[in-house]
Amino acid sequence: MKFTLSWLKEHLETDADLATLLDRLTMIGLEVEKVTDRAEGLEGFVVGHVLDAAQHPDADRLRVCRVDIGGEEFQVVCGAPNARTGMKGVFAREGSYVPGTDLKLKKTKIRGVESSGMLLSEREMGLSDEHDGIVDLPEDAPIGAPATQVMGLDDPIIEIAITPNRGDCLGVRGIARDLAAAGVGTLKPLDAAPVTGAFKSPIEVHLDFPEDKQDACPYFIGRMIRGVTNGPSPAWLQDKLLAIGLRPISALVDITNLVTFDLGRPLHVFDAAHVSGHIRPRLAKPGETLAALDGKTYELDAEMCVIADDDKAEGLGGVMGGEASGCTETTTDVYVECAYFDPVRTAMTGRKLNLMSDARYRFERGVDPAFLIDGMEIATRLIQELCGGEASETVIAGEEPAWRRQLTLGAERVRTLGGIDVDAEETERILTVLGFGVSRGADGFTVEVPSWRPDIVGEACLVEEVVRIHGYDRIPTVSMEKTEPLPGRALSTEQSRRSIARRTLAQRGMTEAVTYSFLADKDAALFGEIADSVRLGNPISSDLDVMRPSLLPNLINAASRNAARGIASSQIFEVGPQYAGDAPEDQAMAATGIRAGATGPRHWAEAPRPADVFDAKADALAVLADLGVATERLQITADAPGYYHPGRSGVLRQGPKNVLASFGELHPRILKAMDAAGPIAGFEVHLDNLAKPKARKGAAKPHLTLSPYQKVSRDFAFVVADDVTAQAVVAAARNADKALITEVEVFDLFTGESLGAGKKSLALTATLQPMDKTLTDAEIDAVADKIVAGVAKATGAELRG
Amino acid sequence: MDDLNTLREDLMTAVGAAADSAALEETRITALGKKGRITALMKGLGGMDPDQRKQMGQALNALKGEVADAIEARKAEIENAEIDAGLEDDRVDVTLPVRPETEGRIHPISQTIDEIVAILGEMGFAVAEGPDIEDDWHNFTALNIPPDHPARQEHDTFYLPGEKDGERMVLRTHTSPVQIRTMQSGEPPFRIIVPGRTYRCDYDATHSPMFHQVEGLVVDKTTHMGHLKGCLIEFCRAFFDLDDLPVRFRASYFPFTEPSAEVDIGCTRDDGQFRIGHGDDWLEILGCGMVNPKVLENCGIDPEVYQGFAFGMGVERLAMLKYGIPDLRTFYESDLRWLKHYGFAALDVPSMVGGLGR
C-alpha cells in the first residue's frame, strides 16, 4: 500500500515529523517497507523567471535567456523549443549536479555566447523521459523557491506492508485512524454529505441470486450521473495517482481509483449508454464470457458473481469491469456502482481466472459493509466537481450485511494475556479512537466492533488492539518460569541417535550434506518403486517431482557435481527422511553416506585405493556401534537391495527380519544410468529400525573381571569352499569353547590354483583367555583340536597342509 | 701371579679392542665361557692345597669380576655406538607431509539447529516432531487458516495426490502443524520446539523450495506476552552471543496467533558492511505471538483456562546471519568446498555450559 505524506495528512491532523510517523506505523503493525524521497538530489534547483529569451546570434535553434532567480540574474543558452520570455522554469546553477545527464554543470560558451547554468527538462531532473522541452512551471510559482516544492516533489512516498487481516488499511484513511489511536495526531472528519438527486435513475438494480447464494452480492447502491464530460483528470489527481504508481486514465476512472486508495472503497463506473435495460447482479451462466477492462476475455462459471444488464455480463463483481460498458472520453451519462461482494467468492473468482485487481485485493480482505452510501456520495461529489453532470437519486438494492457484534474485554485480560497493565482510561481511549463503541463495566468493557474490522472476533483480538497501540515495546520483559530446577532432557532417544550418527560419520572423515527431499522421478525410480502418493502435483521443476525413496541418489548426484568441479573423491553423508508413501509412518529416518573415488589423495608414503564395500561396511558398523548396537552379534547377509552390486554388498540384520543397515558398492548399471563415475561405495543405516533402549536400572556398567593369567593365541589356516562365509568359519571356531575362546579374527585370505578350483584359504587367529590358571600345552592343544573339528563339521573345512 | 697379570692384560686389551657386539661376545667366551681361560684356571683350583687355593681363588674371582665389568662397560659403549650409527641411517625429511586423513564436517543447518536446541533446552523446551507430508487440516485449517483465507494462498503449497479424511495431502509449509499434533496427543502444559524441513513452491535468490524452521510452543495457565519477549530476547542474545543485542517486537499478523508480533534485531549496514548488533537499522528474524484461542479449541484445549505463545524461525536465515553465509541456495548444493568452509568439526557440539561455538 502506497501513499504520500501529504495524502496521509489529508486525514490526519499531526505535527509529528516523518521519522516519528514511520516508526509508529511499523510498531503498530503497518510495516514501512520503503520511503521514497523524490526531492533527494534536486534540492538546489530553484524556480527561474525567464526575463528575456532572445535568438542566439549564430544558431537558429538556440535562445539566449536571461533568468532571474530572485535578486540574481544568469545568462543561459537554451535549445528547448518552449523556452520563451516570461515563462518560469527549473534553474540549475553552475556547479550543480544534473542527475538525468550525470554531469556537473560548468560555465561554458555555446557558439560563442557565455552560458552559466541550465534550464532543465524532466529527463534532466531524472523524473521522467520527457525531453521535448524544459519544465514549464505555473505562472504563479514564486521566483527563487525550491523547484521540488513547486512541483510537489517534496512529498515523500511511503510504502507499507498490509497484513491480510487489515483490509481497512487498504485506504489511506484507515492508516490515519490507526496512527491517531497511536497518539500521533487526530483523525480529521470525513465529509460525506449526501448529494440531492435531481431525478429518478432510469436504470434500476435487481439482485438476481438463488435463495442460498444471496450473500454473493447482498447490497448494491447505484446512481446515474448524466451530462458529464470525461477528459483527463486535473493535475492534482494525476500527480496523486502517479505518486503511488497508478496510470491516470480519465477523470471518471481516476476518481474510482482515488476513492479505492483513499477510503478503501472500490467503485465501478459504467457508460450508461452501453447498459441495456437494468443492472442485474447475478451468478454467471456456465460458459458465459466477459471481455474485461484489461483487454482479456474470461470464461466464467456458475460460482462467479457478475454485474449484468438485461443482455449480458458487464463486469465481474468485485474484480473487474467489462470493456463494452467501460467509460471513455465520449461518455456523457455514467452509472456508478458501489456494492458489497462476498470476500470468499471474490477471492475464488480471481484465483480461478488468475486475475488480480485493486478491487479484488480489497473485497477478498473485506471492505466496510457500512460505507456504501457514504462512498457513493463522496464519489458523486468528486464526479460532479471534475466532470460536471447531474446526479440521480441513489438506487438501493438489498440490505447492508449484518456486521454489528459485541465483545467483552475482561478488566484483567490485557494484563494476563498481554503481560502489561494498561489503565482503563487508556484502554477506552485506544478502542474509541480505533472506532469501537466502548462501555465500561465493573469487570471490564463491553465493546461494539466497528463495521470496518471483520478481523476482530474475540477477546484476544481486543487485547492485541490495546497492546499494539499502547506499544509492544512497553510490555515488561519476563524470563520464562522454571518448571524444574534443572531442565530435563530436550532430545528423545531417536533425536539423539541422529545427532550421534552425524557426528560419528563426520569424525570418520565424511562431510554432511543436506539435500532436497524431492528429486527427479527418473533417478528415484532406480532406487525402488515410487508410490503415486509421493508424486508432487505441482513440482517446481521436473527435476524435483517425487519424494525420495532413499538418500543415495541425491548423494550420488552431489558426488558427480563435485567431480565436475574437480573433486574426484567425495566422502559425503546425510541424515534425513525418506518417504515410502504419504502417511506419517511411511516417513523413515536414514543415515546414508557414500564414498566415491579413491580413499584419499596420492601420497608419497602410501597409495590410495578405490573405495570399496568394506569402507561402506565399516561406516555402517561404526554408526551402529556408536548407537549402542552389539555389532558382533549382527547377522550379515548378502541380499542387499538391487541398486547395490550383487556380489559386493550386504545387509546387517538384528534377527532375521529387522534390517538395520545395508552397504556395498553401487550397481554399475545404476551409476551408468545416473551418469556417475564409479566405483562408489555406499551405506544406509535405517535409524528407525533400531530397538528402543531397554529401561536400565541405573547407569552402572556390568562388572569387569580381569584375568591375572596369560592369554595365548593359536593360528589356523582352513581351506573351505568359496561360498562358505568367513562369518560361518569364525562362528564355528568361537563355538568350539565359548568359555576359553574370547576372540577369533580373520587375518588372511588366499585363493590360488594350489588349493584347487572353488576353494579358498582363511587364516584365523584364536585367542584363549583362562580365568583361573595358566593353560598347559596339552590343554591348549585340546582346544585347538576342538576348533579344527568344530570348523570342519560346520563348514567342511580342512586344515591347510 | 704374574701369569694372572699377563692374563688380565691380555683380556682387557681384547675387550678394549672388540669393535662390535660379536667380537665382544667372542672375547667373553674366550675369557669366561665354559672353555674360557679364566674358567680353565678356576677348574685347576681343585688340585691345589687349601692355602694356595684360597689365595688363587680370591685372585681369580677378582679377575673374573674385573673382566666381566669391563665387558659390560664395553658392551654399553658398543651398543650406544651402534644406535648412533643406526640413527644416521634412519634420518628422514621431516618436512614431508603426514599420511592423508580426511576431516569431516557437520552441515551448518544441523549445527544451527543444535545451537537452538542447546539454548532453548536450557529454558525447559523439549524437541517434538511430525511428518513432512501433512494433510490440509493439520497444516492449515487447525491453525485457523480456513480454505478461503488469503494467507493460505500466500503459502505456495506443494500438493500431493492423496487425501486423508477428505483432506488434501501437502508438503508442510511450516513446522506449525506439529503444534497441533502435540496438543492433540497430550495434556497441557506444553513447552516444545520443533526443528524440521518445510516446503514452499517458490525458487529464486531468496527462496528455496525446501528450507528449515524451528517452531516453538508454550501452553500453560499463566504464560503471557512478557514471557514471550523474555524467552525470545534471551534466545537472540545467546544465539548471536551479544549480551546487549537490541531486540524489538512489533505488531504483525499470523492466523494462528493473537496478538501477533514480528521480532527484529539491531544491525548496521554502514559502508555496505552488514553487522548484527547496535546500529541504526533493524532486521526481521522471526514471527511469534500468543496462541490463538481458536487453535487451542481446535485441539480440544479450553482457551478459557490455557494460554501460551508460539514462534517460528528460519534456520537457514539464522545461520546466514550468524555465520555470514551470503546465498541461501548454496545450503543444498553439497559443494564440498562450501561444506568444508562453512561446516563444523565433528566435536564442535554446542552446549550452554561448554559454549555454542569454539
In a domain, B198, yes or no: yes
Q: pLDDT at position B2, please?
A: 64
Query: Are B323 and B218 in a shared domain?
Result: yes
The Cα of B274 is separated from the nearest Cα of chain A by a number of Å equal to 19
Q: Please return the burial class of A104, using the count of CB atoms within 10 Å of its CB with bins 0-12, 13-18 and 19+.
A: exposed
Mean predicted confidence (pLDDT) in A656-676: 96
Percent of chain A with pLDDT over 70: 100
pTM of the model: 0.88
**pLDDT bracket for residue A39 (50, 70, 90):** confident
Choose which CATH entry (3.40.630.10, 2.40.128.20, 3.30.56.10, 3.40.1170.60) describes domain A2-38+156-187. 3.30.56.10
Cell of A677: 563415475
pLDDT value of residue A132? 84
Point out the residue among A460, A481, A565 whose CB comes nearest to the CB of B259. Answer: A460
- Same domain flag for B329 and B202: yes
Question: Which of B158, B181, B320 is the best mutation test for A, with the most CBs of A within 10 A?
Answer: B158
| C-alpha separations of B284 from A31, A636, B248, B328 in Å | 11, 53, 9, 16
Residues of A in contact with B231 (CB under 8 A): 479-480
Q: Which residues of B touch A518 (CB under 8 A)?
A: 209-210
Check whether residue B82 and residue B143 sit in a common domain.
no
- Residues of A whose CB is below 8 A from B236: none
pLDDT of A59 higher than 80: yes
- Residue A108 has a pLDDT of 87
Write the residue in A417, A512, A601 that is nearest to B224 by C-beta. Answer: A417
The predicted pLDDT at position B31 comes to: 84
Over residues A654-682, the mean pLDDT reads 95
Same fold? A2-38+156-187, A406-474 = yes
Question: Which CATH number is B153's domain given?
Answer: 3.30.930.10
ipTM comes to 0.88
pLDDT for B1 equals 58
Confidence (pLDDT) at A546: 97
Q: What is the mean pLDDT of residues A723-743?
A: 93
Question: Among A158-167, A624-633, A715-724, B141-150, which is the least confidently predicted range?
Answer: B141-150
The answer on B300 and B259 residing in a single domain is yes
Q: Is the pLDDT of residue B150 over 80?
A: no
In this structure, are B133 and B57 located in the same domain? no
Which of 3.20.20.80, 3.30.56.10, 3.40.50.10190, 3.40.50.150 would CATH assign to domain A406-474? 3.30.56.10
User: For residue B103, is it within any domain?
Assistant: no
- pLDDT number for residue A496: 93
Q: For the range A323-328, what are the long-range contacts, defined as Cβ-Cβ under 8 Å and sequence gap of 24 or more?
A: A323/A291, A323/A292, A323/A293, A323/A295, A324/A274, A324/A291, A325/A270, A325/A271, A325/A274, A325/A275, A326/A270, A326/A271, A326/A293, A327/A230, A327/A250, A327/A252, A327/A253, A327/A269, A327/A270, A327/A271, A328/A230, A328/A250, A328/A271
Q: Are both B179 and B323 inside the same structural domain?
A: yes
Q: What pLDDT sits at residue A556?
A: 98
Residues of chain A contacting residue B133, judged by C-beta atoms under 8 Å apart: 534, 547, 579, 582-584, 586-587
Provide the pLDDT for residue B324. 92
pLDDT of residue B45: 83
What mean pLDDT comes out for the span A513-517? 98
- Which of A141-150, A339-348, A678-687, A786-795 has the lowest average pLDDT? A141-150
pLDDT at B148 over 80: no
Decide if pLDDT at B21 tops 70: yes
What's the CATH code, domain A493-689? Answer: 3.30.930.10
The share of chain B scoring above pLDDT 90, in percent, equals 63
| pLDDT tens, position by position, A358-375 | 999 999 999 999 999 999
Q: Which residue of B has its CA nearest to A585?
A: B131
- Do B77 and B218 lie in one domain? The reply is no
- Alpha-carbon gap: B158 to the closest alpha carbon of chain A (Å): 6
Residue A341 clears pLDDT 80, i.e. is over it? yes
Q: Which residues in chain A have Cβ-Cβ distances shorter than 8 Å to B101?
A: 509, 600
Domain housing B201: 108-342
B125 min Cα distance to partner chain A (Å)? 6
Q: What is the pLDDT of residue A248?
A: 93
The tens digit of pLDDT for each residue in A397-429 reads 999 999 999 999 999 999 999 999 999 999 999
As a whole number of angstroms, the distance between CA A663 and CA A682 comes to 6
Q: Domain count of chain B?
A: 2
Longest dimension (CA), chain A: 132
Q: Is A606 within 8 Å of chain B by CB?
A: yes
B305, B194: one domain:
yes
pLDDT for residue B47: 82
CATH T-level assignment (fold) for domain A712-799: Alpha-Beta Plaits (3.30.70)
Across chain A, mean pLDDT equals: 94
Sequence ranges of the domains in chain A: 2-38+156-187, 46-150, 211-398, 406-474, 493-689, 712-799
Give me the architecture of the A46-150 domain, per CATH: Beta Barrel (2.40)
Same domain, B113 and B78: no
pLDDT-based confidence at residue B39 (cuts at 50, 70, 90): confident
The 10s digit of each residue's pLDDT in A521-556 is 999 999 999 999 999 999 999 999 999 999 999 999
Smallest CA–CA distance from A463 into chain B, residue: B259
How does pLDDT run across A773-800, given as a tens digit for each residue?
999 999 999 999 999 999 999 999 999 8
Cα–Cα distances in angstroms (integers) from residue B235 to residues A118, A451, A471, A725, B123, in the given order = 58, 40, 21, 56, 9
**Average pLDDT rounded to a whole number, residues A591-614:** 94
Query: Helix/strand/coil (H, E, C) string of A327-376?
Result: CCCCCCEEEEEEEECCHHHHHHHHHHHCCCCHHHHHHCCCCCCCCHHHHH
d(CA B290, CA B311): 9
Residues of chain A contacting B196 with CB distance shorter than 8 Å: none
Distance from the Cα of B280 to chain A's closest Cα (Å) equals 12
In this complex, which of A347, A365, A533 lies closest to B162 when CB atoms are compared?
A533
Instruction: Please give the residue of chain B at the shortest CA–CA distance from A513.
Output: B334
Whether A518 and A530 have beta carbons less than 8 Å apart is answered as no
pLDDT per residue over A446-457, tens digit each?
999 999 999 999
Task: Assess contact for A90 and A137: CB atoms under 8 A.
Answer: yes
Find the range with the poorest average confidence among A55-64, A169-178, B40-49.
B40-49
pLDDT at B356: 86
Q: Checking DSSP bridges between strand A297-299 and strand A289-291, what pairing results, if any?
A: antiparallel
User: Could A511 and B99 be called an inter-chain contact, meaning their C-beta atoms sit closer than 8 Å?
Assistant: no
Averaged over A680-709, what is the pLDDT?
89
Number of C-alpha atoms within 13 angstroms, CB side, residue A546?
25
b/e A113-149 (16+ beta carbons within 10 angstroms → b): bebbbbbbbbbbbbbeeeeebbbebeeebeeeebbbe
Question: Is residue B139 domain-shared with residue B73, that is, in the same domain?
Answer: no
Instruction: Give the pLDDT band (50/70/90) at residue B6.
Output: confident
CATH homologous superfamily, domain A211-398:
Phenylalanyl-trna Synthetase, Chain B, domain 3 (3.50.40.10)
pLDDT tens-digit map of A547-576? 999 999 999 999 999 999 999 899 999 999
> Are residues B159 and B235 part of one domain?
yes
In a domain, B348, yes or no: no
Per-residue pLDDT tens over the stretch A294-329: 999 999 999 999 999 999 999 999 999 999 999 999
Res. A167: pLDDT tops 70:
yes
Average pLDDT estimate for B94-116: 94
**Minimal CA separation from B240 to chain A, in Å:** 18
Q: What pLDDT score was predicted for residue A43?
A: 84
* A496 interfacial to chain B (CB closer than 8 Å): no
In a domain, B102, yes or no: no
CB distance A481–B228 less than 8 Å? no
Q: Are residues B278 and B336 in the same domain?
A: yes
Q: Are A606 and A616 in contact (CB under 8 A)?
A: no
**Chain B contact for A576, CB < 8 A?**
yes
Tell which residue, A365, A210, A222, has the closest CA to residue A303.
A210
Chain B residue numbers with beta carbons less than 8 Å from the beta carbon of A31 are 250, 252, 262
Residues of A in contact with B262 (CB under 8 A): 31
CB contact under 8 A, A584 and B248: no
Give the residue with greater pLDDT, A149 vs A466. A466
Q: Mean pLDDT, chain B, as a whole number?
A: 92
Query: pLDDT tens digit string along B206-234?
Result: 899 999 999 999 999 999 999 999 999 99
